[in-house]
Structure 1
């Protein structure tokens, strides 16, 4: 299956945003929380713990920037979306080239 780099990056961005919003809505947690809290229902805490490695990769490196931007209560939400999109685009390109390199060896 041949997938172009542009298509891969777009699909990666779509699925990353869907994952972020889905886990935020399903688990009732802010994006900064990576591990389940004690006040959650058992299944939510378990699901949050299982998904925490993926959230750590997708959100972990951006946590210092998120905390810095939350100091100003008037930070526009599109700024966060643009920050996620920029980081995930770089991550998708790296993953694309790694998979391509592994596939050709």
Structure 2
């Protein structure tokens, strides 16, 4: 199983960004014998504090990594987004 990772030069830039929390592998405690699995599954995922910070971090990483916010929003490699939890109800659009 091939581990995934954020390059050290990119990581140095990301660590300077407001809202950068960590690479997902740093947020997980595990036993040594499963480290390769953890590195493969989580090594390319960056955790950001919020969506605004996540978008800035995605730009710095040139949209190469998945960004997950503490609210559950996901910015995929390439920049597409999926939502976490909705804080405000939005009015529904109706068709006439």
- TM-score, structure 1 normalization: 0.26
Structure scoring higher RCO (CA < 8 A, sep ≥ 6) equals: 1
Scaled by the length of structure 2, what TM-score is found? 0.27
**Structure 1 or 2: more helix by fraction:** 1
